[in-house]
Amino acid sequence: MKDSVIHLGLAGLGTVGSGLIKIIQENNDWIERRLGKTLKVKTIMVRDLDKARNVIPSPDTTFTTSMDDLINDPEIDIIVELAGGIEFPRTLITRALGSGKSVVTANKALLAEHGPELFELAAAKNLGLYYEASVAGGIPIIQTLKESLAGNRIKALTGILNGTANFIMSEMSEKGEDFATVLGKAQAKGYAEADPTLDIEGIDAAHKLVILIRLAYGQDYPMSKLTVEGISKVEQFDIILAKEFGYRLKLLAQVRDKSGMLHAGVYPALLRQDHILAKVDGPFNSILLEGNAVGPVMLYGQGAGDLPTGSAVLADILALARTNCVPNNTGFLETRLPQAQILAPELTVFRHYFRFTVVDRPGVMASIAGVMGEYNISIAQVVQRQYAPNDGVPIVFISHSAQMQNVTAALDTIKKFSFVLDPPVHYRII
């Protein structure tokens, strides 16, 4: 990349691709001041050549539907993959690296599922495969883990990584509306997709968490081993009760290191209302991590959107364009990272929130508390309320630290009691 122009080949011209082009147009003289080179989007691969576009690249930008026009053009320095999906970008990136081109991608699903093979190929070719935009939009968490905190062992990392889910939870908490109502509003505002499954079932956050674990620990933690629970069953009633106990309910992505064994998952969990992540509302993302040298560090910003995500894509392009040094893709030298040492989910320890809806009769509290005691779950707080969504009486327990296998066993026992009306509700407390 010694030319005074860096030629980009772009696959996909949706939200992020359009954002990238807008930023390059608006800030090109600024970028040139930093880089000494001009960025030029030479070729854009799209599915439909005739579709109307809300950005207009420079007049000499070529549109194509053929991957070959990106791969086989010797003038193109960097391939920017913003198409989404799995198989197409997997093929594109594999071929791009194979033909000696560095790659920038925002594709969290691809990197979560096929990261190891792609990073191995990039290492073999000594090429860059950069992905700042794949996690938390414009927040520079990839660079921070890969470089700024590289000398730290990360003890724990907790993130609000899905803006859609966070917006829904914030609205339910502030407006007192139920899940379905708020989801509809989020869809109307464009915060949630027509099919919101990836966002509300925690899958998108899980993809991002796999990427962050790789960066923080240098280990591959397979998606299939993650605990993943979404927010689609969250009831407004628990949000209110949690607030009364001084907590906020949030969809969190978390990894913790327990003596070299990792446990990671995505789940709605209670946070103390004075916890720094409890204040991250609406479509914002945030990551709090704990390094063994740096201590707690928190990053906060917009996790999605054309310009914030485009800003992250641009950071990667600049890093690749700036110098001809050895790329740093994963932060580690191994071409294939080891598999994570995983602590079995049933052995993980949390504090817990339980809500049981029961028939109001003598002995009920004693029966439930008895089962808790039997399974070594020590109770910190109990509240019994006089009203409930559906006739029964709610009892809420906040426990001290307890192992998940005991929690599961206790819930299995308690839900079989004839006085328990609804399936028990359970959340971890962070």
Please identify which of the residues 208, 243, 250, 416 carries the catalytic annotation: 208
Smallest distance, a second copy to C-beta of residue 403, A = 29
Select 62 or 148, whichever has its Cβ closest to a second copy: 148
Contact 383, 396 (CB under 8 A): yes
Q: Which of residues 113-172 bind a second copy (CB under 8 A)?
A: 132, 137-140, 143-144, 147-153
Longest alpha-carbon distance in the chain:
82
Rounded to the nearest 10 degrees, what angle do helices 236-244 and 163-175 cross at? 70
Please identify, among the stretches 42-50, 91-99, 201-209, 317-325, the one whose residues bind a second copy according to the rule CB under 8 A.
Answer: 317-325
Say whether residue 302 binds a second copy (CB under 8 A): yes
Distance in angstroms (rounded) separating the CA atoms of residues 105 and 98: 16
Q: Which of 328, 341, 384, 408 binds a second copy (CB under 8 A)?
A: 328
State both tokens at 315: 């950071």
Residue placing its CB nearer to a second copy in the complex, 56 or 293? 293
To a second copy, the closest distance from the beta carbon of 104 in angstroms equals 12
For the record, the structure tokens of 17 come out as 């691709």
40 annotated active-site: no
Of 279 and 400, nearer to a second copy (C-beta) is 279
Q: Is 240 helix (H, G, I), strand (E, B) or coil?
A: helix
- Angle of helix 306-322 relative to helix 15-35, nearest 10 degrees? 40
Strand order in the sheet with 129-130: 62-64, 38-45, 5-11, 78-81, 102-105, 129-130
Six token digits for residue 54: 């809300």
Q: Which amino acid is at 329?
A: N
* Options 300, 351, 379, 417; binder of a second copy; rule CB under 8 A: 300
Candidates 34-42, 80-88, 254-262, 384-392; binding stretch for a second copy (CB under 8 A) = 34-42
| Near a second copy in 209-248, by CB under 8 A | 218
In whole angstroms, the minimum distance from the beta carbon of 333 to a second copy comes to 5
Q: Which stretch binds a second copy (CB under 8 A): 44-52, 304-312, 350-358, 377-385?
A: 304-312
Are 28 and 57 in contact by the 8 Å Cβ rule? The answer is no
Q: Does 34 bind a second copy (CB under 8 A)?
A: yes
Binding residue count for a second copy, defined by CB under 8 A: 60
Q: Is 282 exposed, middle or buried (0-12, 13-18, 19+ CB in 10 A)?
A: middle
**Helix/strand/coil for 135:** coil
Cα–Cα–Cα angle for 32, 25, 305, rounded to 5 degrees: 115
What does the binding site for a second copy look like in residue numbers (CB under 8 A)? Answer: 19, 23-24, 26-27, 30-31, 33-36, 132, 137-140, 143-144, 147-153, 218, 276, 279, 291-302, 305, 307-308, 310-312, 314-315, 318-319, 322-326, 328, 331-334
- Tell me which residues are annotated as active site: 208
